[in-house]
Structure 1
């Protein structure tokens, strides 16, 4: 199982929308590096959902529930999507400011490549985010 972070504009599609829908196609990714990351996703992988815009915070978790497949709404078969389901809101959102202030995250793409919309998450980052969110105990990866 791999760990990921995906970004979304909450005004267009936020974590509440994912919760309401129960399952959703994660689409709209056009950056080739981000698409390569989607290509590596597999069912069972865990995801942090990050709200961009004014929030700039990790707000919840989700799970990949399909293998990558070509976006049926795009005219380019290289543009891939996966289906995801919500797994729970964080007790407290973890802001980009908190992440940037913690030296343990210094090498994470979220800090180094802020425009990348889909990126891997190291297990130690996953656990640290959960701790910062106020999780009572680390959630198994």
Structure 2
């Protein structure tokens, strides 16, 4: 089992949206490094749901990876902002995962809290200039985040 941190803007797709759906498709990732992280995920991994581009940004909850190697359908839709004209159904360029809702934190773990608790070497999201939407979290760091947020559902 591995841990991840996955960012989304809450006004586009937030933890409440995932809770409503229970299982959601993590679509629209268009960064090759983030895509490669998505491709390396395994069923049963856990991910921290991070609300980005909001005041304040931070970890809002927890989700579990329930399906991997899913072809991202947005790459084929010419009306979608994530359309990729070089992608074809026979040769898709973008894969993603399906995530299942696990828990919403009663209080956000803010980016400022994360910066006070973790170094940039420990947690990529606190690294200045880091814009990745999907990133790995080492198990000891994930365990500390789980304690910091007082998650009820501890994997």
Same fold (TM over 0.5): yes
Deviation of the 1:46 alpha carbon: 0.4
**Partner Cα separation in structure 2 for residue 43 and residue 84 of structure 1:** 9
1:100 to 115, 126, 137: 115
- After TM superposition, the structure 1 = structure 2 runs for residues 97-136 of structure 1, keeping only pairs within 5 Å, are 97-102=112-117, 104-107=118-121, 108-112=123-127, 114-135=130-151
Give the number of the structure whose alpha-carbon radius of gyration is greater: 2
Structure 1 residue aligned with 2:69:
68
Q: Which moved more, 1:71-80 or 1:18-27?
A: 71-80
SS in 2 for 1:97: helix
Runs of 4+ in 1 over 6 A off after TM superposition: none
Kindly report which structure 2 residues correspond to 1:33-72, keeping only aligned pairs within 5 A, or say none: 33-54=33-54, 55-72=56-73
Gap runs ≥5 in structure 2: 77-86
- Separation (CA, whole Å) in 1 of partners of 2:139 and 2:96: 23
CA RMSD, aligned part only? 1.7
Unaligned stretches of 5+ residues in structure 1: none
